[in-house]
Structure 1
Amino acid sequence: MRHPSPVSRAAAVVAAGALALGAVGAATPAQAGPAPGSAESAADWLVAQTNAEHLVHNDQFDFDDYGLTADIVLGLDGLGLASYAAPMADALAGHVDDWTTYKRQVFAGSVAKAVVVAQENGYDPTSYGGVDLVSRLEARVSSDKPIVGRVEDKAPDDYVNVVGQAFATQALGVAGSDRAAQVRGYLLKQQCSAGYFRLNLPGKAKQDQSCDAGSRTGISAPDTDATALAVLSLQALPAGATTTKVRAAITDALTWLKRRQKDNGSFGGGTSTEASNANSTGLAGWALGEAGACRAADKAAAWVSKLQVPADQAGPLVDDPGAIAYDRAAFDSAVGTGITVEARDQWRRASAQAAPALQYDLVSCQA
């Protein structure tokens, strides 16, 4: 999701060897070697979660999960390992319509994420999989007051939230779209004066669409994941789109994240995920690390590393070095049972979002 990161600088030898493209094909166990707390071993495990078609397959419900495949692609991009994500990005191109549409419905958040996948991996988003995704996304941007700039699903129900709006902001900003400023402006309205971004968008008829107009215990509750992802998308904007308001929004959000961090380095998520978890800690650490907030990022990385399966793990987890558990309960359960079919989806999602945070120890963050 980002520009080349410390891992791509500090682990160039690993990138040429241990994570050679031969490991990116059909799912194969990661090779033991990288130390616990290793971004490289997490990347190796994530690559091994794809099938022969380079897609993540959900064995519990028997379907190819395009959205999760994209999350893994963006996690690898965040580690500066886009070459290892390339087969997945290519596979997703062959399923653009399967992923972003259904019959005549169009899902704006998925379209926005697909544009970012294309951009981060060297594809032209106006012809990704033969589809002009930029035009498809622009068509989902509202021109109606009071929601000018808000992206919307073309469907009976609209499920776009601040995360989808953030991806759209990045996608159209990088594409140089004429609608980019409106989409960015609407995203910035979703940041409360306290610094955080909320997750859910207000009703479309509400005249004041700003975060401060909602209740802090309701629609405008703080959300770590939404805040971190909004920061990452704003950080990815080209220089011309990085306005004074954008820079202030990033600064305020990072300040809020630092205050939100627990003494042990972890973060909880939103109202439904308040306990410390790898997804929220990973995303926050990633955003902080990208901003050069090295001490906070290092603390987050240290906490995440304790939930990563080490290379010398014996027993049921012997074939899963590098995998990152959602929380301590998930890790401890897997020590006894292994990563079950039912639990594997959670492990994949946690690893995809937490892996980029592991690169930000104090040395590499400051490099």
Structure 2
Amino acid sequence: MRNAARLLAGGMAATVLSAGLVAAPAGAATTTTPKNAGKNAAKTAPKNAAARWLTGQLTDGLVHNDHYGVDDYGLTADVALALDGVGGRAAQAKAVRKALAPHVDSWTTGVDYGSDDVYAGSVAKAAVVAQRTGGDARRFGGVDLVERLEGRVLTSGAARGRIQDQGSADYANTLGQAFAAEALSVAGSKRAAAAVRFLLAQQCGAGYFRVTLDPADASTQTCAEARRAQAKPSVDATAAAVLSLREVPQQTAKVRRAIKAALAWLAKRAQRDGLYASEGQRTGGDPNANSTGLAAWALGDAGRCGAARTAARGVAKLQLSGSYGGTPLAGEKGAIPFDRAAKLAGRDGIAVAERDQWRRATAQSTPGLAYVAGCR
């Protein structure tokens, strides 16, 4: 995933070089003043604290949910993506990927329940985890995830290109479709173009992406054709679509236009305190760290620095950033609550039953914190 550490590869070489990241002539003074060092530390403190807290939530490389007594593979994947996306933690992201790999069937299929179900969104997410962290999606835990994902892409009808679960229920949504479009494109799959086209069809006229897909057998499959209830804005889906579409090699003009429209919509949806509600309401709604962090990540990754900074600072205000030694929050510095209410509820410590929510919020928000000071 492109991030603050990889802007050169994202077409921003001129900007980065003009910022002073050019090799100094021999003998030139290159010392950093204490003043600048302090500023740099302040810029990176939020993301580093969040990343440290996240890695501290791992047990043998996996996120274990003590409340239910299970390893949460999907959330573990979120942690891997966060560590990769925040930059500078490739080795940690790789370690999480390696811990996940032996459990790929338990994560992406119903094998543990004696069923032949296949969860398309999980397959797509697993493939992206492998690809972004330097692994091989065609050989992940002994499984060819690209082939498995190709088998869950519809090949005919109005829903051509749509992912669909195998089983009695279908929980596929735009988030999974975005992962599928990215994974198949990066892998050079013959199903990639159709998956990308179907993802683009979920973009609504205002520029946002909806999160809910129409049933696979419906005659209409686009946001433009959807009923109002099926076409609600989703900050999470829009940000996820942007992040994945930016990973598509050899982007078409249509893909580039879709990214531009989505970013324009995202850039205008922050509330006064920098937070985003899940449906992008400018007032009211449910302003939360999860949606805000994803928005900051997508905006910053694409070079929309001012909007990314606003969102990142909104998240940073929620983050536990003080000194908590000797308090019920000892060891929790860097954690991010879902919203203000969750932060208030956690002031006497993060309860076992609530820790999952804090972990999810922190995983989704951590990469966005890289843009607290902007991205140039």
The answer to whether TM tops 0.5 is yes
Match of 1:346 among 351, 357, 371: 357
- How far apart are residue 204 of structure 1 and its match? 2.5
Whole-Å separation in 1 of the counterparts to 2:332 and 2:216: 45
Q: Contact 1:37/1:302 (CA < 8 Å) preserved in 2?
A: no
Q: Which has the higher contact order (CA 8 A, sep 6+)?
A: 1
Match of 2:31 in 1: none
Q: Contact 1:7/1:359 (CA < 8 Å) preserved in 2?
A: no
Specify the SS of the correspondent of 1:56.
strand
Whole-Å separation in 2 of the counterparts to 1:346 and 1:288: 24
- How far apart are residue 37 of structure 1 and its match? 5.6
Match of 1:243 in 2: 252
Q: In the alignment, does 2:67 pair up with 1:60?
A: yes
Q: What are the superposed Cα offsets for residues 224-268 of structure 1, whole Å, 9 maximum, x if unpaired? A: 111111111011112x2x110100000000111112111221100
Q: In the alignment, does 2:272 pair up with 1:231?
A: no
1:65-76 correspondence runs (5 A): 65-76=72-83
Q: Contact 1:166/1:230 (CA < 8 Å) preserved in 2?
A: yes
Q: Contact 1:45/1:323 (CA < 8 Å) preserved in 2?
A: yes
Match of 2:109 in 1: 101
Q: What are the superposed Cα offsets for residues 38-74 of structure 1, whole Å, 9 maximum, x if unpaired? A: 10110000000001x2110000000000000000100
Match of 1:82 in 2: 90
Q: Which moved more, 1:79-88 or 1:344-353?
A: 79-88
* Amino acid in structure 1 at the alignment position of 2:333: P
Q: Contact 2:3/2:301 (CA < 8 Å) preserved in 1?
A: no
- How far apart are residue 205 of structure 1 and its match? 3.1
Q: Contact 1:73/1:82 (CA < 8 Å) preserved in 2?
A: no
1:1-367 correspondence runs (5 A): 2-6=1-5, 38-51=46-59, 53-80=60-87, 81-102=89-110, 103-216=115-228, 218-238=229-249, 240=250, 242-270=251-279, 274-314=285-325, 315-335=327-347, 337-362=348-373, 365-366=375-376
* Amino acid in structure 1 at the alignment position of 2:132: E
* Amino acid in structure 1 at the alignment position of 2:150: E
* Amino acid in structure 1 at the alignment position of 2:345: S
Identity of aligned residues (%): 49
Q: Contact 1:110/1:164 (CA < 8 Å) preserved in 2?
A: yes
Q: Contact 1:197/1:223 (CA < 8 Å) preserved in 2?
A: yes
**What RMSD, in angstroms, separates the aligned Cα atoms of the two structures?**
2.0
Whole-Å separation in 2 of the counterparts to 1:140 and 1:127: 18
Structure 2 stretches lacking a partner, 5+ long:
9-15, 17-40
* Amino acid in structure 2 at the alignment position of 1:140: R
- How far apart are residue 275 of structure 1 and its match? 1.2
Whole-Å separation in 1 of the counterparts to 2:181 and 2:224: 20
Tell me the TM-score normalized by structure 2: 0.86
- How far apart are residue 215 of structure 1 and its match? 2.7
Q: Taking structure 1 as reference, are residues 281 and 271 closer, same or farther at Cα in structure 2, changes over 3 Å only? A: closer
Q: What are the superposed Cα offsets for residues 133-152 of structure 1, whole Å, 9 maximum, x if unpaired? A: 10000011101201100011
Specify the SS of the correspondent of 1:212.
coil
Q: What are the superposed Cα offsets for residues 282-341 of structure 1, whole Å, 9 maximum, x if unpaired? A: 000110001111111111111101111114135211211111111111111211x20110
Whole-Å separation in 1 of the counterparts to 2:339 and 2:324: 17
Specify the SS of the correspondent of 1:95.
helix
- Whose Rg is larger? 2
Whole-Å separation in 1 of the counterparts to 2:350 and 2:267: 32
Whole-Å separation in 1 of the counterparts to 2:2 and 2:233: 27
Structure 1 stretches lacking a partner, 5+ long:
11-33
Q: Which moved more, 1:257-266 or 1:130-139?
A: 257-266
Specify the SS of the correspondent of 1:214.
coil
Task: Give aligned pairs, total.
Answer: 336
Specify the SS of the correspondent of 1:253.
helix
- How far apart are residue 361 of structure 1 and its match? 3.0
Q: Contact 1:285/1:296 (CA < 8 Å) preserved in 2?
A: yes
Q: Which moved more, 1:294-303 or 1:79-88?
A: 79-88
Q: Contact 2:54/2:79 (CA < 8 Å) preserved in 1?
A: yes
Specify the SS of the correspondent of 2:328.
helix
Q: Which moved more, 1:162-171 or 1:252-261?
A: 252-261
Specify the SS of the correspondent of 2:147.
helix
- How far apart are residue 3 of structure 1 and its match? 2.6
